[in-house]
Amino acid sequence: MATRSAQPTARAPRKAAPRPSPRAKSSSASGDRRQAILEAAITEFSTKGFSGARVDAIARRARSNKQLIYYYFDSKVGLYEAVLGQLIAHTYERMAVGSPPPSLGTAVEEWNDRLLGQGGKEWIRFWLWEALESTPQGTGRDPERARVWARWVGESERARERGEVSKSVEARMLALALQSIIVTPYLTPAVTRLITGMDPDSDAFKSSQLAFLRHLLDSLALSASHEDVDAGL
């Protein structure tokens, strides 16, 4: 008896992968263009300051045009404030990584790395230009910037509570002093070289700077412990 040949099983037609809607494509491309403008603006503003920066130069760097920049940001001031907003957001992201530092020494090391070792040097150039500008710009972002600095001051306050620093040391002034030790060499590299004989970007200088900061914090901790002994605590 002849056997029937098996009939081929019909395959279900493949479903085509859903294509992104034209609106989604447009939104993605718009976000890319906006981000490219912001990146170009960070370079231009940090290199030339607000007064010296040129919108047409930012447009060329971003491979865009001035009309699109004004469409996204309204004005040069609006673009500058958007740049500050992005820098602030990046700083917050770097500060929020990991658990709170167990000591002020650890906090200083982490702050030093986040400020200088993770793309934070744009801030140093912005601070330098801000000091030179006759009319400050971007003041609309001051409350956000103050919140970032409040977190840094908080490290000094917690150090006082842990007894690492004398309660007679004002937390805000300590935070400012530590910030100055970390940043000033990069604001005044020529003076740093003349005083120390080292380039602030060299590993030798960074190692020496960190060792000094550790020694300073150890001295503050020792002073605080002596005060506790004198007080009979």
Contacts of 172 (CB under 8 A, 6+ apart): 153, 156
- pLDDT over 70, % of the chain: 81
Average pLDDT taken over every residue of the chain: 84
User: Between these two residues, 120 and 142, which has the higher pLDDT value?
Assistant: 142
User: Which of 26, 130, 135 is closest to 87 using CA atoms?
Assistant: 130
- The stretches of 134-202 forming alpha helices (DSSP H) are 142-161, 171-187, 189-196
CA distance 233 to 219: 19
- The stretches of the chain forming alpha helices (DSSP H) are 22-52, 55-61, 66-73, 76-95, 104-116, 121-132, 142-161, 171-187, 189-196, 203-230
pTM score, two decimals? 0.76
Could you give the domains of the chain? 30-230 (1.10.357.10)
Residue 117: the pLDDT is 64
Q: Quick: pLDDT tens for 46-55.
A: 999 999 999 9
pLDDT band at 112; cut points 50, 70, 90: confident
Assess whether pLDDT exceeds 60 at residue 32: yes
